[in-house]
Amino acid sequence: MAIALCDVDHFKAVNDRFGHETGDRVLKTIAGELRSVKNRGGYVVRLGGEEFAVLLPDHALERAGAEVDRVRERLGARNLIDSVTERPIGSITFSAGIAMVDGQQGLRRALRLADAALYAAKHAGRNRIYAAFGDGQMAPMHNDMQ
């Protein structure tokens, strides 16, 4: 099973500029996009704030990265408009860290690794997906990320 931790980039700026109600609607939009992985046997959980966990049973690391990357690209390509105020918000991106839960490492270790990979993605410039491996190595999932 693969686990991805996803964190919305610069979300505080959305809340500061547009208000918390708009921020809540943006989070619902992001959750809706992330839910598309459910069609491929995945689960999405909001951990708090602007962070989500995506669980992908029966997914290898690369396939899980591709699933999350499709959502990242789709969301980043959208020009969001607040459905209530009709004010343009712009595009929203997220960063993610992915790790495997397997016989070698349990869920807690995989969560720590995914969190470290998420931090690496943020540190590398955001709007990226990084993978964490059992030996602690981190690597970007795709070369075409910006």
Active-site pick, 33, 50, 51, 86:
50
Residue 50 annotated as catalytic? yes
Axis crossing angle, helix 20-34 with helix 11-18, rounded to the nearest 10: 140
Contact criterion met (CB below 8 Å) for 16 and 25: no
Contact criterion met (CB below 8 Å) for 118 and 102: no
End-to-end CA distance of the chain: 27
Of 111, 133, 128, whose CA–CA distance to 61 is shortest?
A: 133
Contact criterion met (CB below 8 Å) for 62 and 4: no
Contact criterion met (CB below 8 Å) for 22 and 80: no
Residues noted as catalytic: 50
